[in-house]
């Protein structure tokens, strides 16, 4: 009898506890349902739900080069995914997905009983639809009620989601919404981040890695924890086999594969990060203008816009490879010079820098630092002196390319490493040295100086504050040069003499018209280029030679579209302003092609022989900076190399423009020449007007003793040749000029 009473008592309490627990669940459900713990979205709100989407920045041929976002997310449709992505997801996260209507009653009951009654960790228990609800609206911290309230709220939202959307729509909403860590959301962005490909191109084992991350995106991050990620991937593959999405042998073969990543985080190491900085700035200004004009409001970081740029992806990668190939070698040479042979000189620069920066003694202790190296990043324990030694001897460089006809930017490599060296070398101003000379020669032609004017090469002494005697690079003297000959050989003394021929006013006018901003000084030494300019300015100036005399305005963005494909902005070509006459531009193309064939640019012959090319090197004092600008009618490609301070430099010809800067352009063009994109960079200069060609008919160089013989030859040809009257007249005029200018005589012909 006592046992029966005890049994009835136990049953009574069990019923009470069960009813009490059920009452708590019902009460809690009612409180959540009616918004006591926060608003629960309605079906209409779910239907109109919008999530932040990253704007995509693409190259001219459609390649993705970066994103702009609050959350890195790119939407796709279900038919853009391989079926095994869906199979892996369902097998791992919700095997009864197609059997329920948002709630898996068995799993949910287990979670509620264990969390509410037994206060135990019940595991997940969430369906894919409930996980979607969680990802869409997040969770609140409600103390010990956080888990049960969250589960109930997500259950309500899940049920409403299943009413509003069908199963396929829910799957793609989930796959577009789910977080993968590193501020990356959705399967498309995750595929791009970890495997550098679109989700539709994922291999089965790669899809399994990404699905495996959904359990814990940090713990199973394949970059941070490769072993754990591989083990989790194999669990996903096993689940696929358990639910007959894979057979046993296929599962075993996929599980045996290594974990191969192609990590591509555009925010830290993209193909065009320096370029992207300016694209973002320009796009923001464009949208601000569009929004101020009325119509729809567009948000660059949230609306999933598509920004099509002018960048030539193949050329950009060629420039990156060219820089790595050449600078990795030259970097070792420079550091070898200072770390082995000129330690005293380096120490003096470091001590001066420490004093300038004002370091306290306690700050000069050792610290662990991440160091950039062409062979890869490494961490090391360095003193301030060690760190400065590496920093000061680091070679900085930029490569900038544009279309000289339109101004479209084609390449923009603003430095050696965006993460550690974010300062953009394209805008850095350094002394142009001999790459300035074409500006002087163009000014001379603009002012009417004959291209065959003889420029004296005798030693001269000038008073430029103090006595100064310009010297040629090869220390030669004597004879005379034509303009083409002097520029091809980059002769200094003839160039200084041309400076006096031109006049400062004409030089300043040409300098400004070509787009330079620095102020020139009226001193003879200006002829040799001790004037600051940027690669950006130099490329724009040389573009005027390439396109027949017009100043172009570089631009980066071709169009901006909504994610639905509506074009909201399209670049419109602006009317170009003529800054050089056509004849001057034609002569400069002739002069600078001669530089490439016979002068300081002839080293390009080993890289590029697929069409016309003109250009000029530049080497500033003590090899502090090396320049090279090359161009044809289809492209301008400019480069500059130098350490952060002119006090650190090469001590030999290794630091010259032809040895240090030219190979950057050379390697880039060689890679391009060997690619299908090479045709876009070939360009032919137009044939020169026959009359203009005649005016170039003079020797590049004449010794003093040869000058009269040459003038006599011109006189004889003028008198005896059967040429037409116009040509005879021109040759007579040329002879008179030579007699007047070179011999100082007013001799008349009979």
Closest of 659, 424, 622, 663 to residue 535, by C-alpha: 424
Q: From the CB of residue 85, how many other CB atoms can be counted at a distance below 10 Å?
A: 24
Q: Which residue has the higher pLDDT, 158 or 166?
A: 166
Residue 88: band (very low, low, confident or very high) from pLDDT cuts 50, 70, 90: very high
Mean pLDDT within 455-459: 93
pLDDT at 548: 96
- For a pLDDT cut of 70, what percent of the chain falls above it? 83
Q: From the CB of residue 554, how many other CB atoms can be counted at a distance below 10 Å?
A: 21
Q: What angle is formed at CA 445 by the lines to CA 444 and CA 446, rounded to 5 degrees?
A: 90
Check whether 230 has a pLDDT greater than 90: yes
Q: Which residue has the higher pLDDT, 370 or 16?
A: 370
pLDDT at 550: 98
Q: How many residues does the chain have?
A: 750
Looking at 126-140, 332-346, 429-443, which range is the least confident one?
A: 126-140
Instruction: Give pLDDT tens digits for 512-535.
Output: 999 999 999 999 999 999 999 999
pLDDT at 118: 53
Q: What is the rounded CA–CA span in Å between residue 152 and residue 157?
A: 9
Instruction: Tell whether domain 396-692 is in CATH 3.40.710.10.
Output: yes
Q: What is the rounded CA–CA span in Å between residue 643 and residue 649?
A: 7
Distance of CA 601 to the CA centre of its chain: 27
Mean pLDDT within 172-181: 89
Segment of 123-132, 210-219, 374-383, 402-411 carrying the highest mean pLDDT: 402-411
Residue 2: band (very low, low, confident or very high) from pLDDT cuts 50, 70, 90: low
Pairing of β 625-631 and β 614-619:
antiparallel
pLDDT at 749: 34
Do the beta carbons of residue 622 and residue 656 sit within 8 Å? Answer: no
Check whether 496 has a pLDDT greater than 80: yes
pLDDT at 705: 62
Q: What is the rounded CA–CA span in Å between residue 375 and residue 325?
A: 11
Q: At what angle do helices 167-177 and 146-164 cross, to 10 degrees?
A: 130
Using CA of residue 130, residue 133, residue 135, residue 138, what is the dihedral sign?
A: negative
Do the beta carbons of residue 472 and residue 455 sit within 8 Å? Answer: no
Q: Which residue has the higher pLDDT, 356 or 539?
A: 539
pLDDT at 419: 85
Residue 5: band (very low, low, confident or very high) from pLDDT cuts 50, 70, 90: low
pLDDT at 706: 57
pLDDT at 748: 36
Q: What is the rounded CA–CA span in Å between residue 305 and residue 563?
A: 5
Instruction: Give pLDDT tens digits for 360-413.
Output: 655 567 777 778 888 887 778 888 899 999 999 999 999 999 999 999 999 999
Place of tokens 């004037």: 531
Instruction: Give pLDDT tens digits for 19-74.
Output: 666 666 666 667 666 666 667 778 777 776 777 888 999 999 999 999 998 878 88
| DSSP state for residue 743 in the 8-state scheme | S
Provide the token pair at 15. 């019923």
Residues 6+ apart with CB under 8 A from 140: 37, 38, 146, 149, 150
Mean pLDDT within 411-437: 95
- pTM score of the predicted model: 0.80
Check whether 743 has a pLDDT greater than 50: no
- In what helix (H) or strand (E) does residue 682 lie, and over which residues does it extend? none
The ranges assigned to domains in the chain are 14-48+81-164, 396-692, 703-741
Looking at 277-281, 341-345, 536-540, 576-580, which range is the least confident one?
A: 341-345
Mean pLDDT within 205-234: 93
Q: What is the rounded CA–CA span in Å between residue 654 and residue 656?
A: 6
Maximal CA-CA distance, the chain: 154
- In what helix (H) or strand (E) does residue 57 lie, and over which residues does it extend? strand 55-58
Instruction: Give pLDDT tens digits for 555-574.
Output: 999 999 998 899 999 999 98
Segment of 101-105, 173-177, 357-361 carrying the highest mean pLDDT: 173-177
Instruction: Give pLDDT tens digits for 661-684.
Output: 999 999 999 999 888 888 888 889
Mean pLDDT within 474-503: 93
Q: What SS3 string covers 342-378?
A: CHHHHHHHHHHHHHHHCCCHHHHCCEEEEECCCCCCE
- For a pLDDT cut of 90, what percent of the chain falls above it? 56
Do the beta carbons of residue 543 and residue 636 sit within 8 Å? Answer: yes
- Strand order of the β-sheet with 636-642 is 409-413, 396-402, 636-642, 625-631, 614-619
Q: What share of the chain is helix, strand, coil (3-state, %, to 5)?
A: 50, 10, 35
């Amino acid at each position: 009898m006592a046992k029966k009473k005890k049994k009835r008592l136990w049953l009574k309490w069990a019923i009470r506890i069960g009813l009490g627990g059920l009452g708590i669940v019902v009460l809690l459900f009612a409180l959540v349902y009616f918004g006591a713990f926060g608003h629960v979205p309605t079906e209409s709100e779910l239907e109109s739900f919008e999530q932040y989407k990253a704007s995509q920045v693409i190259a001219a041929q459609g390649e993705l080069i970066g994103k702009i976002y609050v959350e890195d997310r790119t939407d796709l449709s279900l038919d853009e995914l391989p079926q095994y992505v869906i199979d892996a997801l369902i097998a791992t996260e919700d095997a009864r997905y197609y059997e329920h209507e948002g709630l898996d009653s068995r799993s949910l009951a287990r979670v509620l009983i264990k969390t509410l009654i037994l206060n135990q960790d019940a595991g997940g228990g969430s369906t894919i639809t409930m996980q979607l609800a969680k990802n869409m609206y997040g969770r609140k911290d409600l103390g010990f009620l956080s888990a049960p309230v969250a589960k109930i709220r997500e259950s309500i939202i899940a049920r409403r989601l299943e009413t509003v959307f069908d199963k396929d729509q829910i799957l793609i909403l989930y796959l577009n919404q789910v977080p993968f860590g590193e501020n990356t959301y959705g399967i498309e962005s995750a595929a791009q981040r970890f495997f550098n490909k679109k989700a539709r191109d994922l291999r089965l084992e790669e899809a399994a890695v990404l699905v495996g991350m959904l359990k814990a995106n940090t713990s199973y991050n394949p970059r941070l924890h490769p072993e754990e990620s591989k083990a989790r991937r194999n669990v996903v593959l096993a689940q696929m086999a358990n639910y007959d999405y894979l057979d046993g042998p296929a599962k075993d073969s996929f599980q045996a594969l290594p974990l191969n990543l192609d990590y591509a985080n555009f925010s830290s190491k993209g193909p065009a990060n320096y370029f992207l900085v300016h694209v973002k700035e320009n796009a923001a200004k464009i949208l601000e203008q569009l929004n101020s004009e009325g119509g729809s409001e567009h948000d660059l970081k949230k609306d999933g816009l598509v920004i099509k740029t002018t960048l030539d992806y193949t050329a950009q990668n060629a420039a990156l490879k060219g820089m790595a190939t050449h600078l990795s070698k030259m970097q070792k040479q420079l550091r070898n010079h200072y770390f082995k042979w000129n330690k005293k000189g380096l120490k003096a620069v470091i001590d001066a820098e420490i004093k300038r920066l004002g370091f306290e003694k306690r700050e000069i202790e050792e610290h662990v630092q991440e160091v950039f190296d062409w062979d890869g990043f490494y961490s090391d324990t360095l003193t301030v002196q060690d760190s400065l030694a590496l920093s000061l001897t680091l070679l900085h460089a930029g490569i900038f390319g544009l279309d000289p006809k339109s101004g479209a930017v084609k390449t923009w490599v603003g430095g050696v490493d965006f993460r550690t060296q974010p300062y953009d070398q394209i805008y850095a101003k350094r002394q142009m040295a001999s790459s300035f000379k074409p500006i002087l020669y163009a000014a001379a032609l603009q002012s009417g100086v004959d291209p065959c004017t003889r420029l004296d090469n005798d030693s001269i002494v000038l008073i430029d504050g103090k006595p100064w005697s310009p010297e040629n690079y090869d220390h030669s003297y004597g004879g005379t040069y034509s303009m083409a000959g002097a520029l091809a050989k980059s002769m200094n003394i003839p160039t200084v003499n041309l400076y006096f021929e031109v006049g400062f006013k004409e030089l300043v006018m040409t300098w400004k018209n070509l787009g330079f901003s620095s102020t020139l000084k009226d001193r003879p030494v200006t002829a040799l280029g001790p004037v600051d300019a940027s690669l950006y300015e130099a490329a724009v100036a040389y573009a005027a030679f390439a396109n027949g005399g017009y100043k172009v305005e570089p631009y980066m963005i071709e169009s901006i579209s909504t994610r639905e494909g509506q074009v909201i902005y399209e670049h419109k070509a602006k009317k170009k302003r003529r800054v050089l006459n056509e004849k001057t531009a034609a002569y400069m193309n002739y002069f600078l092609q001669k530089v490439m064939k016979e002068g300081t640019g002839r080293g390009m012959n080993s890289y590029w022989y697929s069409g016309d090319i003109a250009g000029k090197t530049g080497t500033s004092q003590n090899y502090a900076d090396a320049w090279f600008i090359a161009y044809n009618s289809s492209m301008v490609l400019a480069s500059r190399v130098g350490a952060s301070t002119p006090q650190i430099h090469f001590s030999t010809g290794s630091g010259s423009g032809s040895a240090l800067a030219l190979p950057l352009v050379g390697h880039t063009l060689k890679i391009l020449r060997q690619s299908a994109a090479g045709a876009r960079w070939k360009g032919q200069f137009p044939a020169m007007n026959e009359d203009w060609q005649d005016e170039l008919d003079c020797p590049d160089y004449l010794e003093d003793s040869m000058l009269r013989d040459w003038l006599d030859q011109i006189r004889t040809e003028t008198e005896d040749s059967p040429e037409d009257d116009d040509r005879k007249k021109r040759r007579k005029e040329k002879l008179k000029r030579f007699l007047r200018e070179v011999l100082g005589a007013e001799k008349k012909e009979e």
